[in-house]
A and B are shown apart, each in its own frame.
Chain A
Amino acid sequence: MGAVVRVPERRPTVVIKAETGWASLNLRELWTYRDLLFILAGREVKLRYKQTSLGVTWVVLQPLLASLIFAVMFGRFAHLPSDGHPYALFVFSGVIVWNYFSAVLQRAGNSLITDARLITKVYFPRLAIPLASTFSALIDLGVALLVLVILLIVYKVAPTWRILTLPFFIALAGISAAGVSLWLSALNVRYRDFVHAMPFLLQIWMFASPVVYATTLVPERYRFAYGLNPAVAFIEGFRWAILGASSLTLPMVALSTTISLVVFIGGAFFFRRVERGFADNV
């Protein structure tokens, strides 16, 4: 009896203070909100095809039609190199992974503006908004992959052990896309110019990447500079995993992976640095 009850010193759950400069990523908090990330991604998928009569068919139609046009234009007429694969198969596999990348950029780039109401009314880790797009676009990629399987059967191409590396290249595409999106979405809150620049950016980027042609088209001496484009590695890698022969090299993958990671981590820190101004600027 009479023992002194020690009240453990309580630490505040949240400390709010004026912060300037770089903030930590606060990954622990993002982790506690992980369900939000997937619910937001699910919302994007659901909303995308509500009130469309073709619904999810669009996911299949888009890359198929694009590939058809490319196959006629670049395969039949221009005879662009395709590493010895049937051109249609070659271009389709490039288009679907490129479409994934470009879909993430388009959705995420404008996502903070679209969700302005959320940002100005509730607190949650803002990183969840652009990151959700990285996941929601995966659904489209998955559906397109099923179509690719059918094409592989039609063209009688059997997968090799390389198919096991496919998840790695998809992850690489995801990290590259997420990294660029973090920069774009954060900058877009402040400078709406990026909405207008986006279509051009994506178009130029696509032709600077081996989507409709094989990397062999690029002269040897420019290959290193070409490899600085992170899209090169995940597109060529994606094809390498599915079709086999490609001009993919290990240094190219290493370089591209490094660049993607730098862009991603840099983007996350940049995003965290500017996010406290979102509610006042959006």
Chain B
Amino acid sequence: MSELSLSIQGISKSYQIARALGAQPYRTLQEEVVALPRKLWKRARGRTDRLDTFWALQDVTFDVNKGEVVGLIGRNGAGKSTLLKILARITDPTHGRAEIYGRVGALLEVGTGFHMELTGRENIFLSGAILGMRKSEIAAKFDEIVSFAEVQQFIDTPTKRYSSGMFTRLAFAVAAYLEPEILFVDEVLAVGDAAFQKKCLGKMEDVAGQGRTVFFVSHNTQAIRQLCTRCVLLEHGRVVADGPTHETLSIYNQHLRDMRVDAETGVNNPENRRGSGAVRFTAVSVEDLAGTERYAFEMGETVRFRLSYRANQPMRGIAVVVALRSGVSRDLVTSVRHVVTTDLVPPGATGTVTVDLPEVYIRPGEYPIYFHLSESVPTKTNYDVLDDLTPPLVIAAGSRRLHDNFDPAQPFGVFSLPSRMTVDEAPAVRQDTIDRPFDDKAEMAQTGITTEN
């Protein structure tokens, strides 16, 4: 009989979206006092604003047995991170209950608890203590952590002087060596180079091999396939599939294919499809050079967009725009615009174009895609806008080296652009500065970028 490790029973989580108070992230005392009579009046009449409630998770129920390695997948906003945050006790569920048997190690973001001003040694103790380790336990594991992270030389250097690769390795090592009975991991493998990813996956396999439980959230279906025996699919906050990894992944892929955009998809939903409709996309797809539809790419691969449209009214030329947004801030990351034709396009005319982004230099992450159709001369009218109607483009670090000082683990900024340096005047080398860890990566990290932890 297998032992229970994690039991999730009907977990739901709602967020109140405060519309009445606008987009303010927090309230002042004065506002609260002013709003109080209205709130009490409403409560007295038994009315609450239903519209303002957003359910991030609804009635999620499943059990995980000891030693299982379970993957959790789903599109952006499906509730994966919320579920993990509840299990990691960072936020409370609105309803439901979960039982956890054994010590939990949660790795929701690499390097939480690290402080840039502190040395590697100080940070190991700090972040170990935050993860719930006793000082003596950390001391006992100290050497292993340092050697896994390969930072022996720089252990007494402030982490702000670390290269991002060193930083990531150290952070992962601390969490991995906590030896939790249950390990929650959220998408940490998107950062770091291929060798590091392999090392982390290996370490997670070890953890699983020792009869401990791993709960792994990722967009990286490849990593899930390699690591997990079982996989849970979340959609709109609900569990829609739960079974052997290959079965769940094929359902997931099927769902992605079902989302195929046509002339009708979401036309009535002004949130992600807008425009006058004088011309409409009839199909959009994202594929690789071999013509296989997919949304996960490695840095350096070519991303191909295939766009079909149909004019419903006469158009003075046609132009397409493909843009990528940031998955976190929703800011525009980049956009390309191509004029298909400047000629008059009669109603009923159809066309298909292919737009390639050769060798994407975008750093690992998730990028919602935005498509736009207009006339060849930019006007104020939107004719068709698809915003977030396809799965997001997921870029992972790969083994490709794009340029000489390429480092996919460099988390700063959006792009990894080729750059060149020439030394015009070499500094005189002094003996006492020689042991500082200035490799070229740290050098890059220094270039005008300060990171606060």
Contacts and interface: CB of A to CB of B under 8 A. Distances in A.
Interface of A: 7, 10, 12-19, 32-33, 35-36, 39-40, 43, 46-47, 50-51, 117-124, 190-193, 276, 279-281
B91 A122 contact: no
Contacts of B87: 16
Contacts of B97: 15-18
A68 B103 CA distance: 54
Given A121-B108, A122-B130, A10 B4 contact: yes
A32 B129 CA distance: 10
A118 B101 contact: no
Contact of B88 (A43, A118, A123, A193): A123
Where chain B touches its partner, the secondary structure class is: loop
B89 A14 contact: yes
A191 B29 contact: yes
A36 B130 CA distance: 6
- Chain B interface residue number, banded: 35 or more
Nearest to B25: A281
Nearest to A276: B92
A47 B92 contact: no
Nearest to A192: B26
A197 to B, nearest CB: 9
B123 to A, nearest CB: 9
A218 to B, nearest CB: 31
Contacts of A46: 117-118, 122
B29 A193 contact: yes
A192 B132 contact: no
A47 B89 CA distance: 28
B93 A279 contact: no
B88 A122 contact: yes
B28 A280 contact: no
18 contacts: A14-B89, A14-B104, A15-B98, A16-B98, A16-B99, A35-B129, A43-B122, A47-B117, A47-B118, A120-B90, A121-B112, A122-B108, A122-B112, A122-B113, A122-B130, A191-B28, A193-B28, A280-B15
Given A35-B129, A191-B29, A121 B100 contact: no
Given A120-B90, A123-B90, A192-B26, A39 B99 contact: no
Contact of A47 (B27, B91, B100, B115): B115
B125 interface: yes
B93 A117 contact: no
Contacts of B133: 35
Nearest to A124: B130
B86 interface: yes
Given A36-B130, A121-B109, A123-B88, A17 B100 contact: no
A24 B245 CA distance: 41
Contacts of B132: 32-33, 36, 124
Contacts of B92: 16, 18-19, 276
A12 B126 contact: no
B199 interface: no
Given A124-B130, A191-B27, A35 B135 contact: yes
Interface string B113-156: 10101100010011001111111000000000000000000000
CB-based closest 10 A-B pairs: A12-B99, A121-B112, A36-B129, A123-B89, A16-B98, A17-B97, A14-B100, A35-B135, A276-B92, A191-B29
B118 A12 contact: no
Nearest to B126: A39
B401 interface: no
Contacts of B317: none
B266 interface: no
A273 to B, nearest CB: 12
Given A122-B112, A280-B15, A10 B101 contact: yes
B52 to A, nearest CB: 14
A191 B30 CA distance: 9
Nearest to B94: A18
Contacts of B130: 36, 118, 122, 124
Contacts of B108: 121-122
Contacts of A276: 91-92
Interface string B381-417: 0000000000000000000000000000000000000
Contacts of A10: 3-4, 101
Given A39-B125, A117-B453, A193-B29, A280 B100 contact: no
A194 to B, nearest CB: 9
A14 B93 CA distance: 14
